[in-house]
Amino acid sequence: MRFVKFVSPRVLQGVLAALVVAGCLAMTANAQTEVYNNGTGTNNGYFYSLYTSSGSATMTLTDDYGGGNYSISWSGVGDMVGGKGWNPGGSMSVGYNVGAANGYNNISVYGWTTNPLVEYYICEFGSLYTADATYKGSVNSDGHTYDTYEHEQVNQPSIEGTATFEQYLDNWGGSSIGSNHTVTTGNHFNNWESLGMPMGSFNYMILGTEAYNGASGYVNATVW
């Protein structure tokens, strides 16, 4: 994640909806939905989002494993983030299994709140870029210790258009491929509140895979 060039998807849902109408979705015969580069919507009871600033990415949504499964392949992306989850998000126990992944920068529980406008990450694989962020402390949750950071984004894209907003970053990244794991999101939200990092009304929340700086790779993951 790059703070200066970070583009959030993640972004203008009206634009993404227009891309959907323009034909970025194609239904296949075997109950799979493919999303090319940009799109948001619902699939088998889950919210999904895919954003690609440059390069190419294809997300495949299936009804496997209770409907929470998705895969993404990407090539030469400037910044790409995509995944499945909920809209709205909130305090819940997020279960996930990442069956395969390579070429990513982080895989995180990722979401937004409004009033105040906040973009947040709970990093499960890889690492968040925190060099320009302020260290706030740490939180223990689900058997792991996450380092907590805050960073201000100034005049950057958001779900409300170009805006200035805070990023809340819980950085761990030590999860394992092929096993079931849990993120108790309320532990993170409560910790942020206790550190003077207020949460607002929840918008979407996904298990998001992010890659940037020309990366190419693949992920297959399931949430529940």
Strand partners, 34: 26, 60
Q: Confirm whether 193 is a catalytic residue.
A: no
pLDDT tens, residue by residue, 74-115: 999 999 999 999 999 999 999 999 999 999 999 999 999 999
pLDDT band at 23 (very low <50, low <70, confident <90, very high): very low
Quote the strand ranges of 64-180, DSSP E.
Answer: 69-86, 93-102, 106-114, 118-126, 134-141, 144-156, 163-171
The answer to whether residue 139 is domain-embedded is yes
Give me the pLDDT at residue 32, please: 85
Q: Token pair for residue 70?
A: 């998705």
Q: Is residue 171 part of a domain?
A: yes
CA dihedral of residues 122, 195, 157, 110 (deg, nearest 10): 20
Give pLDDT, residue 22. Answer: 34
Residue at token pair 């109950």? 31
Over residues 178-222, the pLDDT tens digits come to: 999 999 999 999 999 999 999 999 999 999 999 999 999 999 999
Confidence band, pLDDT 50/70/90 cuts, at residue 43: very high
Q: Looking at the domain assignment, is residue 7 inside a domain?
A: no
Which DSSP state fits 174? B
Residue 28 falls inside a structural domain:
yes
Whole-number pLDDT of residue 156:
87
Whether 188 is covered by a domain: the verdict is yes
Helix (H), strand (E), coil (C) string for 151-167: EEEEEECCECECEEEEE
Does the annotation count 210 as an active-site position?
Answer: yes
Give tens-digit pLDDT for 141-184: 999 999 999 999 999 888 998 999 999 999 999 999 999 999 99
Name which residue leads in pLDDT, 192 or 22.
192
Q: Is residue 3 part of a domain?
A: no
Q: Which of 124, 150, 166, 210 is catalytic?
A: 210
Number of domains in the chain: 1
What Rg, from alpha-carbon coordinates, does the chain have?
16
In degrees, to the nearest 5, what angle opens at C-alpha 153 toward C-alphas 124 and 183? 20
Domain span holding position 77: 13-223
List 119, 124, 150, 166, catalytic entry: 119
Nearest to 205 by CA among 186, 191, 192: 186
For residue 28, pLDDT over 90 is answered with no
116: domain CATH number is 2.60.120.180
Q: What pLDDT does residue 157 have?
A: 80
Residue 86 lies in a domain: yes
Residue 57 lies in a domain: yes
Q: Please return the burial class of 209, using the count of CB atoms within 10 Å of its CB with bins 0-12, 13-18 and 19+.
A: buried
